[in-house]
Amino acid sequence: MVSLGCAKNLVDTERLLRQLEANRFEIIFDPVDGSKIDTAIINTCGFINDAKQESIDTILQFARAKQNNQIRYLFVMGCMSERYKNKLQEEIPEVDAFFGVNELQNIVRYLGGNWYKELVGERKLTTPSHCSYIKIAEGCDRKCAFCAIPIIRGKHISRPFDEVITEAKNLVTSGVKEINVISQDTTYYGVDSYKRRRLPELLSALAQIRGLEWIRLHYTYPDGFPLEVLEVIKKYPNICNYLDIPLQHISDHILRSMHRGITGAQTRRLIKTIRKTIPGVAIRTTLIVGFPGETNKDFCDLKEFVKESRFDRMGVFTYSHEEDTAAFELKDSVPARIKHQRYEELMVIQEEISRELNAAKLGQIVKVIVDREEDEFYIARTGFDSPEVDNEVLIPRGIPALETGSFYDVRITKTDSFDLFAELK
């Protein structure tokens, strides 16, 4: 099983693996070179060019392995398959079958297995056993001009409240201590099926699950942001003072062209309110450079915004001209060289900000969870760090030995741009 793309895709992979496990399939993630594999399944990402290229390269790698008789069957699923099934079928005939994003049952049946209804909501975790994602909805009702996800994943569908809570309780029973709440538009939770925003209630209910020590919120949307969420984060100590809120840009002209439904001034006000309501909150955001029509002035505004906002965590994407999106009607006017230059400029600014924010933590005592051992270090994270995407804390291995999946209080002894070094308090 190969799972590409975002954590939302990973949850689908884990749901499929639970069903395959129940059908007594032997599941391997890192096949030994030259070993024979019966079936390879690739869960693809089809979001933007780079991700699509990675998916195609992976499919071709396994297509070659099939030609060399290292694997018998090759299946492709997920967003790329959903979006380009027909074209891929023509171009890569080695693939035995392509499945869309809502076809887990079909895959199991195609493999000759049974679909166990009673296991819906259960997953075979691929993350470290102490931490997991929980997907609270599928699809998106927003109309961001650059985004193909609504085309791939369809309309926003919130999962039933109790089903999410039951899944979270099962995860905690199985040893999970940290849950990252995800969907395409987390703040929209409940609007479709309950006709009102229910994220604050859902977070409160999650926070009351005994043994769930860290809850972290991802993919919140700035326009119409439900401020009650901030009160809930503040109220419960086991909800991390952390907020992932992709903002994409700050220039009114670009935000309008992106159909983001919010202005630069409103964005600034929201960031101020978030910081005022939750002092010391870590804000993660994502920005896009090179959107059609982005002028030097727009980019200078964005640079100023990044400097003044001093985000704790920040990702930057170069605009990808995606067919069938609203932005595809616009001219992809910013040359690739300029897109890349703007990307680099923002990352350099952010690296300096991150270095300064980290340096201010020197000598502090922070609570961390140990994820793994690597060379001479234990690799851990603070409550301000989401797995895979944020910073890490490196603790030299020594006596006493630390346990993976356990929490410790550590003192920060050294800092660099992104990671922290620490010793047991």
Q: Which positions from 171 to 210 touch ligand SF4 by CB under 6 A, shown as an x/- string? A: -------------xx-------------------------
Backbone angles phi, psi at 126, to 5 degrees: -110, -5
99 vs 149: CA distance, rounded Å: 17
How far apart are CB 408 and ligand SF4 at their closest, in Å? 35
Instruction: Give the start-end residues of each E strand in 22-96.
Output: 37-44, 71-78
Closest C-alpha among 172, 279, 237, 207 to residue 383: 237
Stretch that binds ligand SF4, among 55-63, 124-132, 145-153, 194-202 (CB under 6 A): 145-153
Q: For ligand SF4, which is the closer residue by CB, 142 or 361?
A: 142
* Window 65 to 124, contacts with ligand SF4 (CB under 6 A): none
Task: Say how far apart CA 45 and CA 41 lie, in whole Å.
Answer: 13
Contacts of 50 (CB under 8 A, 6+ apart): 320
Nearest-approach distance from CB 159 to ligand SF4, in angstroms? 16
Query: In sequence order, what are the residues at sequence separation of 6 or more whose Cβ sits closer than 8 angstroms to the Cβ of residue 296?
Result: none
Residue from 63, 149, 172, 422 in contact with ligand SF4 (CB under 6 A): 149
Q: Are 45 and 12 in contact (CB under 8 A)?
A: no
Handedness of CA 142, 143, 149, 154 (dihedral sign): positive
> Which CB, 134 or 149, lies closer to ligand SF4?
149
* Size of the residue set binding ligand SF4 (CB under 6 A): 9
Among residues 4 and 148, whose Cβ is nearest to ligand SF4?
Answer: 148
Q: β-strand 282-289 against 377-382: which pairing, if any?
A: unpaired
Rounded Cα distance between 232 and 243, Å, is 12
C-beta neighbour count of 85 within 10 angstroms:
14
Nearer to ligand SF4, 132 or 184 (CB): 184
Q: Identify the residue among 66, 142, 310, 367 touching ligand SF4 (CB under 6 A).
A: 142
Quote the least distance from Cβ 221 to ligand SF4, whole Å: 5
Stretch that binds ligand SF4, among 51-59, 146-154, 261-269, 312-320 (CB under 6 A): 146-154
Of the candidate spans 6-14, 142-150, 350-358, 395-403, the one that interacts with ligand SF4 by CB under 6 A turns out to be: 142-150
Q: Which stretch binds ligand SF4 (CB under 6 A): 138-146, 326-334, 347-355, 384-392?
A: 138-146
- Sheet with 131-135: list strands edge to edge: 131-135, 178-182, 214-217, 239-244, 282-289, 313-318
Supply the minimum distance, in Å, between the C-beta of residue 188 and ligand SF4.
Answer: 8
Interface residues for ligand SF4 in 217-256 (CB under 6 A)? 221
Q: Which is nearer to ligand SF4, 185 or 392 (CB)?
A: 185
For residue 226, what are the CA distances in angstroms to 220, 230, 303, 327?
10, 8, 27, 28
Contacts of 169 (CB under 8 A, 6+ apart): 209
Contact between 268 and ligand SF4 by CB under 6 A: the answer reads: no
Given candidates 5, 46, 78, 150, which one binds ligand SF4 under the rule CB under 6 A? 150
Whichever of 142 and 275 has its CB closer to ligand SF4, that residue is 142
Q: At its nearest, how many Å lie between ligand SF4 and the CB of residue 48?
A: 11
Q: How many other C-beta atoms can be found within 10 angstroms of the C-beta atom of residue 157?
A: 14
**Residues near ligand SF4, by CB under 6 A:** 140, 142, 144, 147, 149-150, 184-185, 221
